[in-house]
Structure formats: C-alpha cells, structure tokens
C-alpha cells in the first residue's frame, strides 16, 4: 500500500497502472485518483485495514484510501500477491443474482440489520456502523421524534455491484445510494460514502403526517426533493450537524456552502422547487443548493421548527410554489420567495 500512496503523492499514474494486473481496475483507480487530485487532495494515505489468505500465494484485503479525517474514506477490495507486491484484481466477496438472494455476511446492530461483503466492516472501517447507531439517536433527540425500530442496510463494496444486484434499480449515473423508507423494514441500498445520507431518508418519515387510505389505496405524504434531498445532504454525518456535511467533498474537506455559493451563480433556486425542475439541472448544483437552504433554516430557527416546516410542506398535495407558500407562511410567517432571498443573503454575505 506504500507504493499506492507514494505514487499518488507524486502523481505517477503510470506507476499505479503497473501495480495492478487488471487493466480495467487500474484505469478505474487512476481515474478516481486524478479526480481527487483535481479536487485538491494533495496527500493520500493508503492502508491495508484487513487481509486474509486467498489461496495459491494470494491474499484478499481491504484498502483504505483517506485524505481529510472529516470525510468518509474510499475503500477498495483487492486480490493481491504479497510476494510480488502487486494487485491482481478487484473483488467483492458477494455473489448472487439479486440483493435478495446474494450470499451476504450479516451484522445485526441495535436498530439495523447490515448486509455486507465479508471484506467490509472489518478492521478500521467497522466504526461506521457504530456511528450509524449514534446518528439515529442524535436525530431522535434533535427532532424529538420516534423512529422505526429496525432498518435493513445493504452495504455494497462497489456501485457496479449495487447496480447489478438491484437490476439497475439503484446505482445509476452519479448515484451511490437509494432508500425505500416505505418498505417493511425500511431498506437502504448504499456504499459506505452515502450511508449517513441514505439513513436520513428513513428518518424523514417521522416528520410527515401518517398515511391514509383513498379509494382503497394506501397514500403517503412526501416532501419535495429540494427539501427532502436538501435535508439529507445537510445532515449526512454522524452528528446530524449541517456544518459537518461532506456532500461535495472528495477525500478532502470542502464546506457545503462553498459549493452552494458556486451553484447559485448557475441555478436560480426558485426554479428548482418542483421535483421535475430539481432533476432537470446538474445534480451537484441542485443537491448543494437544497442542502445549504436546509442548513440556513436549521441554523436560523432550529431543528424542531424545521421539522414542523417539513411536516406542513409534506402535507401539501403537490410540489408547486403555492404548496411551499402554505408551509412557509404557516411556520416562518413569510413567503418562500422572501425566505429564499434571506437565505441567499446569508449564503453570500462574504460574496457569491
């Protein structure tokens, strides 16, 4: 692992390619490293957090690639030859035609059942499961709500495996997690990078009105994506604290509002309040703006007031401006346009 770390720190991409026998994996890792480098990750720390004999002179191990301690590291599972100090191929340790019948390892926490590769949640990366439980408890206290007693978490070592085992239901372009909060139990499909983000989508159901039946069909309430995804972006950390969001970070820390200040020059937030328009713009811009807006609402009036806003907005029949108007007037005693303007002033107080 010392070679990977040294070669990255010297931007020696060809040396990294020579370390990895599998060309596709070599090119994929180099592409990721070049993106980290372009994002300003100046120094990389590579460490082997778990290894086990794989037979025929091979080992299989989990490699941790880390930058800033405030950002979830990248994990790679490799089959390697210790004697020659090279990497033969990537591995997952999970086989199956669907996530429902795959040969997962299962770890049971107090409020989560976690399905994972035998090469995950071992060694140094196991701490994230404890932080997942901690996040749940902090959310309950800050919003003063009750949460579902159990959720299922399918923790994938790669996005490509997620895409395969969900039959492309999750793991599309720029997607590293998705959640069905209405399943029984609520179900999260995710990589380690999105585990705290996706958990928020489960907890959000505690903030919406109870479902009801209409024409014999069960109905549920949801908030528009600008607010629902914004909330998940803002609070995607073990502390449920918007100031620690790592949404737009690579392996180096980038404050969420830095990304929002850049995005607001390209996108008018008033134009992406509906789900259709939210998904019509660059996801990085839409999610950053939603996350920053939720951060402002929480910072200015607190968690429980924001929870009340989420409840009233989710109760509205659509995601149009008039639905936002009902919620903002009810909770914040002003219009959505005025609230967005105040947020923009707060966001751009040192320039946009």
Q: Which helix (H) or strand (E) holds 335?
A: none
Please, which pLDDT band fits residue 212 given cuts at 50, 70 and 90?
low
User: Is the separation of the CB atoms in 200 and 140 below 8 Å?
Assistant: no
- For residue 126, pLDDT over 90 is answered with no
Lowest mean pLDDT among 185-199, 212-226, 251-265, 267-281: 212-226
CA 73 – CA 68 distance, rounded (Å): 8
Nearest to 324 by CA among 309, 303, 305: 309
Is 123 a residue whose pLDDT tops 80? no
pLDDT band at 87 (very low <50, low <70, confident <90, very high): very high
CA distance 61 to 77: 6
Confidence of residue 124 (pLDDT cuts 50, 70, 90): low
- Under 8 Å between Cβ of 232 and 319: no
Can you give the pLDDT at residue 158? 94
DSSP 210: P
267 has pLDDT over 60? yes
Q: What is the per-residue pLDDT for 173?
A: 79
Kindly tell me if the per-residue pLDDT of 182 is higher than 80: yes
The CATH H-level (homologous superfamily) assignment of domain 92-207 is Collagenase ColT, N-terminal domain (3.40.30.160)
The strand pair at 187-190 and 58-66 is best described as unpaired
Which of 83 and 181 is assigned the larger pLDDT?
181
Asked, colleague to colleague, whether 2-90 and 92-207 share their fold, the answer is no
Give the integer Cα–Cα distance in Å for 137 and 139: 5
CB 288 within 8 A of CB 256: yes
Q: Say if residues 202 and 186 touch (Cβ distance below 8 Å).
A: yes
Banded model confidence at residue 208, pLDDT cuts 50, 70, 90: confident
Structure tokens at 140: 């309950």
Which pTM does this prediction carry? 0.93
Q: In this predicted structure, what is the pLDDT of residue 55?
A: 86
pLDDT at 36: 94
Q: pLDDT tier at 264 (50, 70, 90 boundaries)? A: very high
Distance CA 105, CA 95 (A): 11
Give the residue from 87, 84, 132 showing the smallest Cα distance to 111.
132
Could you give the CA distance from residue 341 to residue 337 in angstroms, rounded to a whole number? 6
Q: How confident is the model at residue 211 (pLDDT cuts 50, 70, 90)?
A: low
Nearest to 207 by CA among 283, 126, 298: 298
Q: How many Cβ atoms are within 10 Å of 113's Cβ, its own excluded?
A: 16
CA gap 57, 48 in Å, rounded:
17
**Count of other CB atoms within 10 angstroms of residue 66:** 19
> Which pLDDT belongs to residue 25?
93
Judged by average pLDDT, the poorest of 2-6, 226-230, 235-239 is: 2-6
CATH number of 2-90: 3.10.450
Tokens 């901690």 correspond to 134
CA distance 108 to 114: 6
- In this prediction, residue 351 carries a pLDDT of 83
Quote the strand ranges of the chain, DSSP E. Answer: 45-55, 58-66, 74-81, 86-90, 105-108, 112-116, 151-155, 177-180, 187-190, 212-214, 217-219
What contacts 48, CB < 8 A, 6 or more positions away?
Answer: 1, 61, 62, 63, 64
pLDDT of residue 219: 52
150-165 mean pLDDT: 96
Of 63-72, 244-253, 293-302, where does the model show the most confidence?
A: 293-302
Q: Give pLDDT tens digits for 304-342.
A: 999 999 999 999 989 999 999 999 999 999 999 999 999
Range of weakest confidence among 118-132, 207-221, 286-300: 207-221
Q: Is the pLDDT of residue 221 over 70?
A: no
Q: What residue spans define the domains of the chain? A: 2-90, 92-207, 209-352
Summarised one tens digit per residue, pLDDT across range 26-75 is: 999 999 999 999 988 989 999 998 898 988 899 999 999 999 988 999 99
Q: What is the mean pLDDT of residues 180-204?
A: 95
């Amino acid at each position: 692992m010392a070679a990977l770390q040294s070669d990255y720190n010297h931007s020696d991409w060809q040396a990294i390619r020579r370390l990895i026998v599998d060309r596709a994996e070599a090119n994929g890792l180099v592409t990721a490293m070049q993106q980290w480098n372009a994002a300003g990750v100046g120094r990389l720390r590579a460490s082997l957090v778990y290894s086990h004999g794989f037979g025929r002179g091979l080992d299989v191990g989990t490699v941790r690639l880390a930058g800033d301690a405030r950002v979830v590291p990248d994990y790679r599972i490799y089959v390697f030859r210790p004697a020659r100090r090279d990497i033969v191929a990537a591995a997952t340790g999970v086989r199956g035609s669907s996530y429902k019948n795959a040969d997962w390892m299962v770890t049971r926490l107090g409020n989560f059942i976690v399905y994972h590769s035998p090469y995950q949640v071992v060694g140094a990366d196991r701490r994230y499961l404890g932080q997942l439980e901690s996040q749940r408890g902090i959310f309950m206290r800050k919003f003063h709500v009750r949460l579902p007693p159990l959720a299922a978490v399918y923790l994938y070592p790669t996005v490509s495996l997620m895409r395969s085992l969900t039959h492309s239901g999750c793991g599309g372009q720029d997607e590293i997690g998705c959640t069905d909060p209405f399943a029984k139990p609520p179900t999260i499909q995710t990589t380690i990078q999105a585990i705290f983000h996706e958990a928020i989508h489960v907890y959000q159901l505690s903030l919406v009105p109870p479902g009801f039946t209409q024409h014999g069909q069960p109905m549920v309430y949801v908030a528009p994506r600008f607010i629902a995804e914004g909330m998940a972006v803002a609070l995607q950390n073990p502390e449920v604290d918007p100031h620690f969001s790592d949404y737009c970070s690579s392996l180096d820390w980038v404050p969420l509002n830095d990304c929002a200040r850049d995005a607001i020059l390209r996108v008018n937030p008033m134009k992406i309040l509906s789900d259709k328009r939210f998904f019509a713009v660059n996801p990085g811009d839409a999610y950053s703006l939603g996350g920053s807006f939720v951060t402002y609402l929480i910072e200015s009036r607190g968690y429980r007031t924001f929870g009340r806003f989420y409840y009233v907005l989710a109760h509205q029949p659509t995601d149009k401006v008039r639905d936002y108007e009902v919620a903002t007037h009810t909770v914040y005693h002003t219009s959505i346009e005025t609230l967005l303007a105040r947020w923009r002033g707060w966001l751009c107080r040192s320039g946009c």
